[in-house]
Amino acid sequence: MGLKPVKIGLLGLGTVGSGAVQVLSRNAREICRRAGRGIVISHAAALEPPKLPIDTSAIKITQDGFAVVNDPDVSVVIELIGGYQPALELVLKAIENGKHVVTANKALIARHGNEIFAAAQKHGVTVAFEAAVAGGIPIIKALREGLAANHIEWAAGIINGTGNFILTEMREKGRDFSEVLVEAQALGYAEADPTFDIEGIDAAHKLTILASIAFGIPLHFERCYTEGISHITRDDVAYAEALGYRIKHLGVTRKTQQGIELRVHPTLIPERCLIANVNGVMNAVLVKGDMVGQTLYYGAGAGALPTASAVVADLIDVVRSLTTDPNNRVPHLAFQPDSIKDDPILPIGDIETAYYLRMLAEDVPGVMGRVTTALGRAGISIEAVIQKEPSEGVAQVPIIMLTHRVHEKQMQAAIAEIESMDCIAGSVTRIRLENLE
């Protein structure tokens, strides 16, 4: 006689929720072989009908999430409603009721994770969140378990598919940002309000989680530097290409002696880099460990079945560990809770990186000299320059430069000086550059 199937309560029957139902029913036998017992969704809360065609005849469906988290038969709650509320309240209630939680909610973990994990530890339950970062790619597990022997030095990732799709289209078809955004919305890749994706907030949620697991620090979403991609032009994309680089919306976290870098922004990366060739809506995370060197994780960062794949994998982990002593489980943030260290998060001015600069200059002698002098005064050396010939009847020419590595605050001072020159029109575009060596 095997163990009785484990009963699961599901919050949300949207894309990922109905995807999870599909994965569990389609792969039921394989999942049972892996988990050691059956896993069935017995109770679900949803405000709307399921997003995908699924058989819900064996599921008790309600509109009340609290009915699910308070159901005594439910052992594990899957939270897939997203956002902060009522998700936080429901998750905390499930934990208080002694239920394990599986979630894909990156915003919730990034902003309230410290509180959630403390509650989970107090009540002896697990909160699993693989699907919260990079969809179906098992990056949390890789960092937390697979690379546990390493000091993680840095991680850099394309962790928002919408932004990556837009930049890919701009590069491949020479189109403008605003035009591609409209298409991304029509294709369903971007929301009606695309702010979270294009301004880097979604990527910052995910990067916050990666940094915490990589370095054993608390979650500090509010300290993540975030910059969007709406100011990137097709000219920038073309100039970067001419210089041997691609522009990607990158999340970068690095441990330095001064503290932790935590930043999301458009970034030039060398085109020979594997990650520079991650296109469309795909995600990829590059991790550098001191013993292993660089490792790359690539795959679908969103979508019903890829994300549900990560949700159900977490569910299998939780079911396997239902009978284990809570103190012997893998710690939520990879390090034992009493050894999480609150290292300082560096302000962006203290970051050191190389730069791409684009400015519009009057077509008069000596402009280049004045610009290089201003950069030199700030201690900035130049690696490459593209100076375009003026076209017929146009009084201004674009100048494009790549600089060597320098502190951001030095660069800010130099740009302010360049922008104040009468021979420079408008503002200077600057995009950070990472060689990812």
Q: How far is CA 196 from the centre of its chain?
A: 11
Cα separation values, 129 from 32, 101, 144, 161, 311, Å: 21, 9, 12, 19, 8
Tell me which residues are annotated as active site. Answer: 206
Question: How does residue 89 score in pLDDT terms, banded at 50, 70 and 90?
Answer: very high
Q: Which two tokens stand for residue 16?
A: 């990922």
pLDDT digits (tens, 9 = 90+) for 383-407: 999 888 877 777 889 999 999 999 9
From CA 240, how far away is CA 428, in angstroms rounded? 15
pLDDT, position 2:
67
The predicted model gives 295-320 an average pLDDT of 94
Place of tokens 């590069």: 171
In terms of residues, how long is the chain?
437
Q: Are 285 and 134 within 8 A, CB to CB?
A: yes
From CA 198, how far away is CA 313, in angstroms rounded? 29
Kindly list the domain boundaries of the chain, sorted by start residue. 6-136+304-339, 141-300, 351-433
The percentage of the chain sitting over the pLDDT mark of 70, rounded to a whole number, equals 100
Neighbours of 106 (CB within 10 A): 25
| Element housing 369 (H / E) | helix 367-377
Virtual torsion, Cα 181, 185, 188, 189, nearest 10 deg = 20
pLDDT digits (tens, 9 = 90+) for 43-52: 999 998 888 8
pLDDT digits (tens, 9 = 90+) for 327-370: 778 888 878 888 899 999 999 999 999 999 999 999 888 899 99
CATH H superfamily, domain 141-300:
Dihydrodipicolinate Reductase; domain 2 (3.30.360.10)
Question: How does residue 1 score in pLDDT terms, banded at 50, 70 and 90?
Answer: very low
Q: For residue 222, report the phi and psi dihedrals to the nearest 5 degrees.
A: -65, -15
The predicted model gives 124-147 an average pLDDT of 95
From CA 162, how far away is CA 182, in angstroms rounded? 11
pLDDT, position 107:
95
pLDDT at 121 over 60: yes
pLDDT at 25 over 70: yes
Residue closest to 52 by CA, chosen among 368, 307, 402 = 307
The predicted model gives 144-161 an average pLDDT of 96
pLDDT at 326 over 80: no
From CA 50, how far away is CA 12, in angstroms rounded? 9
What's the CATH number of domain 6-136+304-339, 2.20.25.90, 3.10.20.340, 3.40.50.720, 3.50.50.60? 3.40.50.720
Give the DSSP per-residue string, 210-236.
HHHHHHT----GGG-EE--STT--HHH
pLDDT, position 251:
98
The predicted model gives 243-270 an average pLDDT of 97
Place of tokens 């560096």: 346
Q: Are 237 and 176 within 8 A, CB to CB?
A: no
pLDDT at 73 over 70: yes
The predicted model gives 100-120 an average pLDDT of 96
pTM for this predicted structure: 0.95
Question: How does residue 96 score in pLDDT terms, banded at 50, 70 and 90?
Answer: very high
The predicted model gives 96-120 an average pLDDT of 96
Neighbours of 269 (CB within 10 A): 23
The predicted model gives 116-122 an average pLDDT of 95
From CA 32, how far away is CA 136, in angstroms rounded? 20
Place of tokens 């010939």: 389
In this structure, whether the domain defined by 351-433 belongs to CATH 3.40.640.10 is answered with: no
